[in-house]
Amino acid sequence: MLHTVIAVVGVAPELAGHVRLHPIRAEALVLIALVVLRHTLVRRRMTASS
């Protein structure tokens, strides 16, 4: 889903104005969320007892 948001903002940057953000800031926030989510999932998988 986050990849879709990145693609949509990349194709139509004016959509970021609906949430009162500049397009580059909207993309940056989504990318940060993606990195944090992946880090959390990897950490959870590494620390899971098997």
13 with 19: CB under 8 angstroms? no
Q: How far apart are CA 19 and CA 42, in angstroms?
A: 30
Residue 16 near residue 25 (C-beta atoms within 8 A): yes
- The pLDDT value given to residue 50: 59
Average pLDDT value for residue range 1-5: 82
What local confidence, expressed as pLDDT, does residue 41 receive? Answer: 92
pLDDT of residue 10: 85
pLDDT tens by residue, 4-42: 888 888 899 898 888 898 999 988 998 999 999 999 999
Q: Is the pLDDT of residue 1 over 90?
A: no
Give yes or no for a contact between 23 and 13, defined as CB atoms under 8 angstroms apart. Answer: yes
Judged against a pLDDT cut of 70, whether residue 49 lies above it is answered with no
The secondary structure of 25-44 as a DSSP string is: HHHHHHHHHHHHHHHHHHHH
